[in-house]
Chains A and B, each alone.
Chain A
Amino acid sequence: MPSIHSLIAENIGRSYGDVVAVANASLSLHPGEVTALIGPSGSGKTTFLRLLAGMERPDTGEIRSGQTVLASPGRHVPIETRKIGLVFQDFALFPHMSVLQNVMFGLRELAKSDRVRAAEKWLDQLGLTHRRDAYPHHLSGGEQQRTAIARALAPQPVAILLDEPFSGLDPSMRDRVREVALSAIRAAGVPALMVTHDANEALVHADRIAVIEQGSILQSGAPETVYRHPVSLAVARALGPVHPLEATDLPREWQDTLDRRSDTFWYRPEAIKLGSGIELIVKGSQLAGPVTELALALNTSAEIFAACQPGTPLTPGDRVSATIEPSLVFDFQSKSI
């Protein structure tokens, strides 16, 4: 197996006329790690993926696999020779080929028998051996997905890029398919980029997270780091709800626990913890799956929002005791609000 390098994008940019799709974006994808690229619609995440894949040429910047330059102002390795595996949201399997033939498609350089053997190895790894001769339209969504991943990994690519790979799947099977798919990708040891708009998926399943907005990578790092230490409001928002809190509305007991630097704090709803602390009146209560979303009155005009699991159902007018967890309260000072 050839040695595997990081896939590195340095300051890449791409514009369409006056529209800047990707601007000065830098990101390193490391072997064996799944990096989630998260951002709202139109943030440039798909263009970024297309630039890495070689479907588009960057106007500026450089893309490298280790020391090998794949794209730069003077050089463009086309998609056909770039050896980057792609998995699409709609799987894009070849409808006229069986599962085995799909997986063998990228193995043309091998002898026929080697091709079959290599493809079968991937089918085995992704639990598709029994579907070897089935055609795509006979497969379930999860099987199609796994075929697409086997097909992308089989030619031993220098990296694999996945565009919303799990959003087309039925929610009931999504977790299991994701498990199998991502562990196969990690086992292959290649750098992987997974484009997603699902913050939860990124936080739970990725090794690293990169947040993109308006074509720029705002922050990248371990999920825990990015979630707890967002560098900007945009990053904080990309990974889950945050709410503003004016410093003047803060109860005095809470002010002591927070290190005040600006007039507005931003907090995640789970920063508000029930059980002890100051007493607040419930203004509204809404069940939202495993947690309950509460609106609590801080004073006559200000409310805070909490996501918690109260022992008994609460109704407006009830009183609860609450504290605030400082690590989930962000203070972006003056920038980017």
Chain B
Amino acid sequence: MPRWMPSVSAIPPAVMIGLVGLPVFAAIYAGLVAGDGATWAHILENRLTPYTLTTLATLILAAIMMLGLAVPAAWMISQHDFPGRAFFSWALILPLAMPGYVMAYAWADLMGVAGPLQSQIRAVTGLTAREYWFPNLFTVPGLAFVLASTLFPYVYITARAAFSMQSLATLDAARSLGARPLDLFWRVALPVAMPAILGGLCLALMEAAADYGAADFLGIQTLGVGIVRSWTSFGEPNTAARLALMLIALAAILLVTARLYQGQKGLHQTSTQWRTPGRTQLPRPIAVAATLLCAMILIICFVAPVLRLLWLASQSATRTVDLAPLIKSTLALGVLGTSGAFIAALIFTLAAKRTQTMKLATRLIAAAGYAAPGAVLGLGALFILRETGQALTGGIAITLLIWIYISRFTSAGVEPMQAALDRLPRNLDNAARSLGSKGVRQFFAVDFPLIAPGAFAAGLILFVEILKELPATLMLRPFGWDTLAVKAHAYATDERLAQATLPSLLIVFAGLAPVLLLSWRLSQTERA
């Protein structure tokens, strides 16, 4: 091979690394050097501290709620038999299909003064609306509830896997030493599964920190909301940059923590005798309680909000919404963004195969984009635009938006492709090369067919993620390019919830596809 070959093959990944990484670094740079405009004291006192504290409070409450929703259900489902176990085992992943903002619209309507819950209370008690207390969704705990109810499946999935991977002999040993079922959970199963559970929790919290739509709708001043408002409403780009820096740091800490926990692969199990088929048969009342618990979680986090949206959508008000242009621009942006992110993910995956340095570099950059919330990347893009003296119009805006999609979601595409490669024998590649295959032929004859199963999943995930994306699209979309997510949010924040339901439902139904795919893949790996 001529000496210049490696450098040529390194160009596409190098370009992609730059492309994916630039918006993040632009935002970080702006946050570090921002000097003019509002003074630092003002930012710190009026913006940074309150926004940060609100975000942290939300995350802490959401963490507690997610553990409460996910861990008991995962324990029951992985270790015990009860009516509906097999159904709940996958159905509890469904809430992932709901973007936080859609969950917020649905529950805001369900819990509103005129909503079904409060109406029922008044009908039963005969009290008026002022005479009883009812939880208010438009609060920090309310936001935490909304985010927890869509994101808890991350914790559920990891907890379930960790519990079912535990050595049966370890649990039997504990029982022979006198541990009752609750002891077994608290003293043995939970501590052993804890690293995996915390890993899942950190990822879920990272997603929660990236939320903009739910917090904005509920009027909670989180960092995500603060970034968008500082730029668009207050005209304080430096404030936005500082808030973005804080949010990136928070997300990075969560991502690194998650990876550290995941690296531990659970505590070192000295026991190799993995689970045998026997799940504990529960006594009747406890089995019924387990079924009720799972059913309640599913109703609260998926069935009730979706049914409410369907009911609202069936009302007359929604007919005034013209969906056609929304779907058109959503599809256009979705297809463009998916193509871009797909190519980037493909280049990253193939580059990671070549050298360890490349692998590390692509992982790091993809992770940086993944951890950076949409609002931060949108801000990074706006800074780049300002530095280059361009205006946010037409083609430039669309290009910028596609770029941000690529930056944010490439890692979501790399993951399934990498998984497809990891399942293959290590020496397959070397075998192909020893048979004289290289370059373009190697790509089409060997690499791509191998990645293909993962590539389909990657394409689907990318498309749905882009379709759900709100803050960056909101910040960068050119005039006339409202997507379903943007319009739903606009209606909802305008208190025209009925009009928001139809676009919201479309997003949820699209979101079900990758969730069902994920659920199917999990059941495959569990069986393996």
A interface residues (Cβ-Cβ under 8 A, vs B): 53-55, 78-86, 88-96, 105-106, 108, 135-137, 139, 144, 148, 151-152, 155
User: B174 on the interface (CB 8 Å rule)?
Assistant: yes
For A53, the chain B residues whose CB sits under 8 A away are 172, 176
User: B515 on the interface (CB 8 Å rule)?
Assistant: no
For A92, the chain B residues whose CB sits under 8 A away are 167, 169-170, 172-173, 270-271, 273
Contact B267 A95 (CB under 8 A): yes
User: B256 on the interface (CB 8 Å rule)?
Assistant: no
For A85, the chain B residues whose CB sits under 8 A away are 176-177
For A83, the chain B residues whose CB sits under 8 A away are 178
Chain B window 172-197, contacts with chain A (Cβ cutoff 8 Å), 1 for yes, 0 for no: 11111111100000011001101000
Complex CA distance for A82 and B175, rounded to whole angstroms: 10
Contact B270 A79 (CB under 8 A): no
User: B272 on the interface (CB 8 Å rule)?
Assistant: yes
Give the shortest distance, in Å, between A173 (CB) and chain B (any CB): 16
Interchain Cβ contacts under 8 Å between A and B, 16 examples? A53-B176, A78-B175, A80-B179, A82-B176, A88-B173, A88-B273, A90-B167, A92-B172, A93-B270, A94-B170, A94-B174, A95-B192, A95-B268, A136-B268, A136-B270, A151-B173
Starting from the known contacts A55-B175, A93-B170, 11 additional A-B residue pairs (CB-CB under 8 Å) come to A53-B172, A88-B169, A88-B173, A90-B272, A92-B270, A93-B173, A95-B267, A95-B268, A136-B270, A137-B268, A155-B177
Complex CA distance for A82 and B272, rounded to whole angstroms: 26
Contact B180 A80 (CB under 8 A): yes
User: B269 on the interface (CB 8 Å rule)?
Assistant: yes
Give the shortest distance, in Å, between A89 (CB) and chain B (any CB): 7
For A81, the chain B residues whose CB sits under 8 A away are 178
Cross-interface CB contact of A108 among B167, B178, B188, B271, cutoff 8 Å = B178
Contact B173 A95 (CB under 8 A): no
For B169, the chain A residues whose CB sits under 8 A away are 88-90, 92
Residue of B nearest to A136 (CB): B270
Contact A90 B270 (CB under 8 A): yes
Contact A155 B178 (CB under 8 A): yes
Complex CA distance for A46 and B169, rounded to whole angstroms: 13
Residue of B nearest to A147 (CB): B270
Interface centre among A93, A137, A148, A155 (most CB of B within 10 A): A93
Contact A91 B176 (CB under 8 A): no
Contact A89 B273 (CB under 8 A): yes
For B191, the chain A residues whose CB sits under 8 A away are 96
Give the shortest distance, in Å, between B159 (CB) and chain A (any CB): 16
Interface centre among B172, B179, B188 (most CB of A within 10 A): B172
For B180, the chain A residues whose CB sits under 8 A away are 80
Contact B177 A96 (CB under 8 A): no
Which B110-126 residues have a C-beta within 8 angstroms of A? none
Residue of A nearest to B190 (CB): A96
Do A84 and B176 contact each other (CB < 8 Å), given the known contacts A90-B167, A92-B170, A96-B191? yes
For A151, the chain B residues whose CB sits under 8 A away are 173, 177
Chain B window 250-292, contacts with chain A (Cβ cutoff 8 Å), 1 for yes, 0 for no: 0000000000000000011111110000000000000000000
Give the shortest distance, in Å, between A152 (CB) and chain B (any CB): 8
Contact A137 B176 (CB under 8 A): no
For B177, the chain A residues whose CB sits under 8 A away are 85, 105-106, 151-152, 155
Complex CA distance for A94 and B170, rounded to whole angstroms: 7
Give the shortest distance, in Å, between A229 (CB) and chain B (any CB): 35
Residue of A nearest to B269 (CB): A95
For A148, the chain B residues whose CB sits under 8 A away are 173
Complex CA distance for A135 and B267, rounded to whole angstroms: 10
Residue of B nearest to A151 (CB): B177
Complex CA distance for A139 and B271, rounded to whole angstroms: 13
Query: What 10 A-B pairs have minimum CB-CB distances, sorted nearest first?
Result: A106-B177, A137-B268, A92-B169, A95-B267, A86-B176, A96-B191, A88-B169, A92-B173, A92-B170, A136-B270
Complex CA distance for A81 and B175, rounded to whole angstroms: 8
For A96, the chain B residues whose CB sits under 8 A away are 191-192, 194, 267
Complex CA distance for A135 and B265, rounded to whole angstroms: 16
Contact B271 A80 (CB under 8 A): no
For A86, the chain B residues whose CB sits under 8 A away are 172-173, 176
For B175, the chain A residues whose CB sits under 8 A away are 55, 78-80
Give the shortest distance, in Å, between A114 (CB) and chain B (any CB): 16
Contact A137 B192 (CB under 8 A): no
For B272, the chain A residues whose CB sits under 8 A away are 90
Complex CA distance for A189 and B194, rounded to whole angstroms: 39
Give the shortest distance, in Å, between B512 (CB) and chain A (any CB): 38
Give the shortest distance, in Å, between B165 (CB) and chain A (any CB): 12
Give the shortest distance, in Å, between A27 (CB) and chain B (any CB): 19
For A94, the chain B residues whose CB sits under 8 A away are 170, 173-174, 188, 192
Complex CA distance for A75 and B247, rounded to whole angstroms: 61
Contact B273 A90 (CB under 8 A): yes
For A55, the chain B residues whose CB sits under 8 A away are 172, 175
For A78, the chain B residues whose CB sits under 8 A away are 175
Give the shortest distance, in Å, between A110 (CB) and chain B (any CB): 12
Complex CA distance for A152 and B174, rounded to whole angstroms: 10
Contact A144 B178 (CB under 8 A): no
Complex CA distance for A136 and B179, rounded to whole angstroms: 20
Do A79 and B192 contact each other (CB < 8 Å), given the known contacts A90-B270, A91-B271, A106-B178? no
Which B187-246 residues have a C-beta within 8 angstroms of A? 187-188, 191-192, 194
Residue of A nearest to B177 (CB): A106
Residue of A nearest to B188 (CB): A94
For B188, the chain A residues whose CB sits under 8 A away are 94
Interface centre among B170, B270, B271, B272 (most CB of A within 10 A): B270
For A89, the chain B residues whose CB sits under 8 A away are 169, 273
For B178, the chain A residues whose CB sits under 8 A away are 80-81, 83, 106, 108, 155
For A105, the chain B residues whose CB sits under 8 A away are 174, 177, 179, 187
Complex CA distance for A94 and B169, rounded to whole angstroms: 10
For A135, the chain B residues whose CB sits under 8 A away are 268
Complex CA distance for A139 and B170, rounded to whole angstroms: 17
Contact A137 B270 (CB under 8 A): yes
Complex CA distance for A225 and B96, rounded to whole angstroms: 67
Do A144 and B176 contact each other (CB < 8 Å), given the known contacts A90-B167, A95-B192? no
For A54, the chain B residues whose CB sits under 8 A away are 176
Give the shortest distance, in Å, between B448 (CB) and chain A (any CB): 41
Give the shortest distance, in Å, between A196 (CB) and chain B (any CB): 17
Complex CA distance for A106 and B175, rounded to whole angstroms: 9
Give the shortest distance, in Å, between B359 (CB) and chain A (any CB): 28
